[in-house]
Amino acid sequence: MKSIFFAVLIIATSASGQQCNQAKILNVRTSTSENSKLNTETAFIIQFKAQCQNNARNVPFYAEIDGKFLTSSADATGENYEISWSEPIKKARSGEIKVRIFDEEGYGAFRKAQRSGDLSSSKDLQTVTFYHQGSYKGPSVQIEFLVTVLFGVIFYFAKSSMNKIQN
Amino acid sequence: MSAKSSKSKNLSQEEEALLQDYSRDLSTKSSALFYGNAAIVSAVPIWLFWKIHQMEPTNNYIYFILGTLFTAYLISFAYKNVKFVLKHKIFQNLDNVFPNEKEKKNEDRSLKKKNEIAEYEATTYSIFYNNSLFLFILLVASFVIFKNFTPLFNYFLSMSIASGLLALFSTSK
């Protein structure tokens, strides 16, 4: 009885810790929030589909961005993954952003290489490069200022014409 | 008897014309023009405060009506004053237009013509000048001076100051 229970536990733990063999990253989509007037922070989202040779689902993937690591989340099917993070609008940089995606094995190897200082040996599954054009911060000149200046010019014209008549 | 009475009638007619010329009273046409324009210019800021300062007309229609009526009265007062001052200046500048007014029989006609031209130009100029000044003061008051006030106070203060200053400046020569 005890041996059966123990065997069931071993099967359960091995199933939850299953690895994705020869993962293929497909259908990569990226999006960023681009309006600082509607958001308090800039959000970055990478969505992709991962196909494993051993049909493993809901496996962890890791993304490396500027030396920081993030873990992925999966949807109900276990095949579609998403990695997302947010930064304060002022701190979020615009331009090209490179994100390296690792599986669990690759992540472990990268961390080892990081500690040893030799990053050349680390291999990622895929490097996703996308472009963030920056958040729209509103018009550089307030429209009410422009309208006030316009009416000021019109009034100046009216006043100078009146002075001509009176003189 | 009849010649004497017609002569006195002519004099009194001339006097009447002079009195009309130098009085601030408006003809019906001028009144309609002034009050109509004043009402329109006073009503324009309602759209500004509704769309930009988020003052819903359904909740604030009483304030809008009161503000519009008060402002329209002051603007029409300013129109009258500026028109009165300008009319005489324009009339003087029109001396060159009718050089032969020394002929007695055409004098009345030329004076009448000059009067009409001066009346029309002074009216339109007064409307243009006062409208531009009113809107300029209103924009400065609502977007700069009172921008941190609640919309209702912003509306009343901006409209009062703009129309009040307009009436004040119009009393100077």
C-alpha gyration radius of chain A: 28
CB spacing of A148 vs B90 below 8 angstroms: no
The whole-angstrom distance between residue A144's C-alpha and the CA centroid of its chain comes to 36
Query: Can you tell me which residue has the tokens 């993304």?
Result: A63
Q: Which of B138, B139, B158, B172 to mutate to test the interface with A (most CBs of A within 10 A)?
A: B139
By 3-state DSSP, what share of chain A in percent is helix, strand and coil, each rounded to 5? Answer: 35, 35, 35
CB spacing of A161 vs B90 below 8 angstroms: no
| Model pLDDT, residue B76 | 94
Q: How do residues A28-40 score in pLDDT, each as one tens digit?
A: 898 888 777 777 7
pTM above 0.90, yes or no: no
CB spacing of B93 vs A162 below 8 angstroms: no
For B165, half-sphere exposure in the C-beta direction (CA atoms, 13 angstrom radius) is: 15
ipTM field: 0.78
CB atoms within 10 A of CB A123: 12
Task: Tell me what the pLDDT averaged over chain A comes to.
Answer: 82
pLDDT-based confidence at B35, cuts 50/70/90?
A: very high
Nearest CA in chain A to B140: A148
pLDDT-based confidence at B14, cuts 50/70/90?
A: low
* DSSP 8-state symbol, A91: T
d(CA B81, CA B75): 10
Q: How do residues A43-89 score in pLDDT, each as one tens digit?
A: 889 999 988 888 888 888 999 888 888 999 998 888 899 999 888 87
Q: How do residues B91-139 score in pLDDT, each as one tens digit?
A: 887 766 555 555 555 667 777 888 888 888 999 999 999 999 999 999 9
The token pair that represents B88 in the structure block: 């005489």
The token pair that represents B139 in the structure block: 């924009």
pLDDT at A11 over 70: no
Nearest CA in chain B to A166: B89
